[in-house]
Amino acid sequence: MQSRVPRRIPAVRRSGKVLVLFAVLLPAMLAFIGLIIDGGLLQGTHRRAQHTADATATAAARALQRGKTDAEATAIGEHTAADLNGVPVGGVSIRRPPDRGPYAGNPDAVEVELVDHADTHFYGFIGGDSAVEVSARAVAGWRPSTARAAIVVLDPDPPRLSVPPLPGVLPALPALIGGFEIEGLGTVRVDGAVLVNNEWGGLDENGDPAGNSLPPPYALASLNLLTPQRLRARDLRVVGGVDNPSAYGPFVVGESSPLRTGKLAVPDPLIGVPVPTTAVDPVNVNGTLRGGVRIIGLPIGPWQTLDPGVYDWIEVVSGRVRFNPGIYIIRSVNPVSQIALNLLAGEIDAAGVMFYITDSAGYSAASGAPDSGDGESVPPAPGVLDLLPSAVINLVLPGSRISGLDDPDSPFDGMVVFQRRRD
């Protein structure tokens, strides 16, 4: 058998064009890779920078909306950018108002410009920078989102008083059912917004759980189960939850429910209002000490007149009483009823007045001490007697009226009852 020897194939000569082509295309390939990888890194860095700018502007605007100064709001914004998001303080610029754009010059808006850096991996091979600067800008502001506030409940978590138990009879019962309670048998109609900062639990407008704790107590509670829609308002915003969403309805029958829960707390509208003194409002404040007053008169008798000044307490049981315009400082309580202002009955004519109620028996109308030094100090825990109201106003007779102070030059213009902040 004859064996076959493989025939040798002549070698093919190569010119090296592929190597040259690769060398020519390498920069373009690196640029393409850099565009994909480094471009993605830059896009992610810019997205993070924009989110940080948005959060910083929002935090600063929220601080200003709560009454903080520009310096305090700037510090809060820088904390949000640097400590919470890792952007150096030097890379953040916060301005109020913005100096450009549609909100330029708006004092209720804050502008944030932020600069961050992204490290690249391939741009350096084609002459690019190894670190690229990324910038972002954001503007945040605030404006009213409800009707004008008529009732504002500020305390987010007041002390939860309870009635002591009766051994073998009753367990301990909460004395507070809600941070804001609606009592009686009638319907409360509020031509404005009701804003409740209380964080206690309950239900939201859809009947789902809301708030920070298990109820009771609720942030807002209606103690009458017989009357539907006990509270009617233009807007009803609650931080926590309510006892029964169906108990709250619109001011105008037929409109949608105004109830919204889980909302941000509103700032204290009285944070900058001073206590009444002769220095702050010399026209309406009178420092004359008038003691405690109790009035009992005939329904058709002559008018009895009270003048502005400093009272220990005021109680009207019957008769016809006229309060001359001005500010009535009430610095204590009736030793029997434990109520500072008690308008039980009678015909009341009180136009253009404000009652300042304080638990300071030594209140000075000249300096405002000790109330003027309260600041934001937390008051002591209340006792059982603190469940009594500070003021009772019952205008049942025809012709009775009461209206707030009427003086545009006074910081108390329009106010009827002003109670010491820490009381």
pLDDT, tens only, 70-96:
889 888 988 888 887 877 767 788 899
| pLDDT at position 31 | 66
The residue ranges of every structural domain in the chain are 18-141, 149-261, 289-419
- pLDDT greater than 70 at residue 35: no
| 241, 200 contact by CB (below 8 A) | yes
**Per-position DSSP letters for 125-161, written without gaps between them:** GGT--SEEEEEEEEEEE----SSPEEEEE--SS----
The answer for residues whose C-beta is within 8 angstroms of residue 374's C-beta and 6 or more apart is: 420, 421, 422
In whole angstroms, how far apart are CA 135 and each of 4, 45, 143? 76, 9, 27
Question: What is the model's pLDDT at position 386?
Answer: 57
Pairing of strands 248-250, 231-238: parallel
Higher pLDDT, residue 228 or 50 = 50
d(CA 289, CA 331): 10
Q: Out of 13-27, 152-166, 187-201, 269-283, which region has the weakest mean confidence (pLDDT)?
A: 13-27
- Contact in structure between 271 and 313 (CB atoms under 8 Å): no
Answer with the residue of higher pLDDT: 388 or 374.
374
**Looking at residues 167-190, what average pLDDT do you find?**
75
Q: Is the pLDDT of residue 289 over 90?
A: yes
Whether pLDDT at 7 is above 70: no
Distance of CA 80 to the CA centre of its chain: 19
Mean pLDDT computed over 401-409: 93
Q: 368 burial class (0-12, 13-18, 19+ CB within 10 angstroms)? A: buried
pLDDT band at 44 (very low <50, low <70, confident <90, very high): confident
- pLDDT of 167 reads 64
The pLDDT value given to residue 280: 95
Would the pLDDT of 12 be above 70? Answer: no
**In this structure, is the dihedral angle defined by the CA atoms of residues 230, 388, 365 and 311, taken in order, positive or negative?**
positive
Could you report the per-residue pLDDT of 214-259, keeping only the tens digit for each? 888 899 998 876 777 789 999 999 999 999 998 999 999 889 999 9
More confident residue, 80 or 30: 80
Give the pLDDT confidence score for residue 22 in this predicted structure. Answer: 67
Count of C-beta atoms within a 10 Å radius of residue 238? 30
* pLDDT at residue 195 tops 70: yes
What is residue 193's predicted lDDT score, i.e. its pLDDT?
94
Average pLDDT over the chain reads 84
pLDDT score for 351: 94
Whether 236 and 188 have beta carbons less than 8 Å apart is answered as no
Q: State what percent of residues in the chain have pLDDT above 90.
A: 40
Average pLDDT over residues 393-411: 88
Q: Which residues contact 122 (CB under 8 A, 6 or more apart)?
A: 30, 31, 33, 34, 37, 38
State residue 215's pLDDT score: 86
- State the pLDDT at residue 370: 93
Confidence of residue 139 (pLDDT cuts 50, 70, 90): very high
pLDDT digits (tens, 9 = 90+) for 337-370: 889 999 988 899 999 999 999 988 999 999 999 9
What single-letter DSSP state applies at residue 90? G
Residues 24-53, mean pLDDT to the nearest whole number = 73
Task: Please tell me the predicted confidence (pLDDT) of residue 413.
Answer: 93
Looking at per-residue pLDDT, the higher value among 236 and 123 belongs to 236
305-320 pLDDT per residue, tens = 999 999 999 999 999 9
Min mean pLDDT across 79-83, 86-90, 168-172, 322-326 is at 168-172
Res. 2 pLDDT band, cuts 50 70 90:
low
Whether the upstream peptide bond of residue 97 has omega within 30° of 0, thus cis, is yes
**For residue 128, which amino acid is it?**
G
Rounded distance between C-alpha atoms, residue 23 and residue 28, angstroms:
10
pTM of the full structure: 0.66
By mean pLDDT, which of 187-201, 235-249, 350-364, 387-401 is the weakest?
387-401
pLDDT given for residue 373 in this prediction: 86
Nearest to 204 by CA among 243, 249, 156, 241: 241
